[in-house]
Amino acid sequence: MSGSVFQLHEVLPENNKGVVGYTEFDLVDFVCAFNSRKMLCNSLRFECDLRVQSNGADLTEDLDVYLNHKIGGHGLISQITTEINSVGQIESINSYPKLVGMITSATLSNTDLLNGSKSCELRSPAEKYTKRQILGESFESREDTATATIPNAISLKPLFALNRSQGESDNAISYAKSGNIRISIQFSRVNELLYGADVGSGLVTYKITNPRLVFTSIADDGKQDKLQMRVEYNIKTQVNSSLSNLGLKVPAVCNAVSIMFIKSAHESNPYYDDVAQEMLPNVSRCDFNFNNSTNTYVTYTIRDKVELISRYLDSLSSSGHNQASLNLLSANKGFGIGLSFGEFIDLSRQAFNVQITSDVVSDDPYTAVFFFHSIASF
């Protein structure tokens, strides 16, 4: 890319609400056009201003309102969909905050969350710091020393296909080949973003203003190298017995699966963290059943808890730098189950089965959120 002139693009939503702003369930569409240029993958950021209030007033420190510190502002995004005009939809991630929480727990330590690249996303090493951040930015007026509070300025680098790309040379998408690229974001409900006793009162709200998508481009050199983009397919199901057999059909070629769990009674419950990776009670065995690339039926059995978490970390491509220590697992944080297949397997032509043996009972079921990891080529 030597000699290339970089250009920063800022895209406003099609359905711009101006000062009225956006809140839970709202959908924003960004249409990226970059004529005669190439979008640099891994450069896209979602930026906005966030104000959290209780009963129409700014939050105060005594209120019991929390935001998961591992995901921060990523919790605003409930769903993110990517569509390339010349190809069609390449990815749609539901339960996006849960994916970010899993990847963070598996690849980052608490000290990593002190990095400035994470602070601008409202991420921090502990809930107490994030609780302070969502109060807003305060400053004293020069005229009368009164304290004013303004919304938090947030800049996120979403974990989606265009930011998880690898190319042979410039890792860029030519507009001549792609046409417009549409990125749609649906905002999370309050109970999924925030939690705490005061959230349960039903008086806590949030508002997003000035949403925009920014990315970098270079001049089009007339070439389009092949790109590989990591994409996710997610499915929700329920574990409701001591021996649960979960059969799934996935319309993709995948090389790994990662699974997180949360009590069904805790999901979307304002008194509980919706992104918590809760541990299934007394997991003693996990069996993965599928056909491999040569159509040979495979049963992969895990009985050891250390291997269980090790395989889970492998499924998220962890390199050993993570938060999933035994201490954190015992504190019911960062738990998950997963398996790397070691090859790409077409799951669209077969049922993928996971059998879990645990102490789960029918009157206290758990929600299992599956993320199947795949590759999209462009």
Q: pTM of the full predicted structure?
A: 0.92
Does 213 share its domain with 238?
no
In this structure, the answer to whether residues 189 and 276 fall within a common structural domain is no
DSSP-assigned letter for residue 234: E
What CATH number did the domain enclosing 94 receive? 2.70.9.10
- Given 161, 195, 219, the domain boundary residue is 219
Report the 10 Å Cβ neighbour count for 175: 21
Claim to verify: residue 208 and residue 238 sit in the same structural domain = no
Work out the number of other CB atoms within 10 angstroms of the CB of residue 179.
13
Domain-ending residue, one of 186, 201, 219: 219
Which among 273, 260, 25 has a CA at the least distance from the CA of 131? 273
Q: What is the pLDDT of residues 256-311, one digit of tens each?
A: 999 999 999 999 999 999 999 999 999 999 999 988 877 788 898 999 888 888 88
Answer whether 331's CB lies under 8 Å from 113's CB: no
Task: Say what the pLDDT of residue 144 is.
Answer: 58
Chain CA centroid to CA 372, Å: 13
Say whether both 236 and 204 belong to one domain.
Answer: no
Helices and strands (H, E) in the chain, number of each type: 7, 24
Does residue 296 sit in the same domain as residue 268? yes
Same domain, residue pair 194 and 61: yes
DSSP 20: G
Is residue 80 in some structural domain? yes
260, 116: one domain = no
Both 256 and 351 in a single domain?
yes
pLDDT, one tens digit per residue, over 297-351 is 889 899 988 888 888 888 987 545 556 555 555 555 678 999 999 899 999 888 8
Backbone torsion region of residue 73, taken as left when φ is above 0, otherwise alpha when ψ lies between -120 and 50, otherwise beta:
alpha
Instruction: Provide mean pLDDT across the span 147-163.
Output: 90
**CA angle (189 as vertex; 184, 195 as ends), nearest 5:** 135
The confidence score (pLDDT) of residue 3 equals 47
Neighbours of 126 (CB within 10 A): 11
Averaged pLDDT for residues 209-233: 93
Interstrand relation of 7-11 and 204-219 (parallel, antiparallel or unpaired) = antiparallel
Helix, strand, coil fractions of the chain, as percent rounded to 5: 15, 40, 40
What is the reported pLDDT for 138?
Answer: 73
Which region among 5-9, 117-121, 235-239, 310-314 has the lowest average model confidence (pLDDT)?
310-314
Whether 1 is in a domain gets the answer no
Phi–psi pair at 324, nearest 5 degrees = -85, 55
End-to-end alpha carbon distance in the chain: 19
Range of the structural domain that residue 357 is part of: 227-377
pLDDT of residue 41: 95
How many whole angstroms separate alpha carbon 279 and alpha carbon 197? 23
Q: Both 209 and 297 in a single domain?
A: no
Does the residue 298 lie in any domain? yes
Is 268 exposed, middle or buried (CB count within 10 Å of its CB: 0-12, 13-18, 19+)?
Answer: middle
220, β-bridge pairs: none
Q: How many domains does the chain have?
A: 2
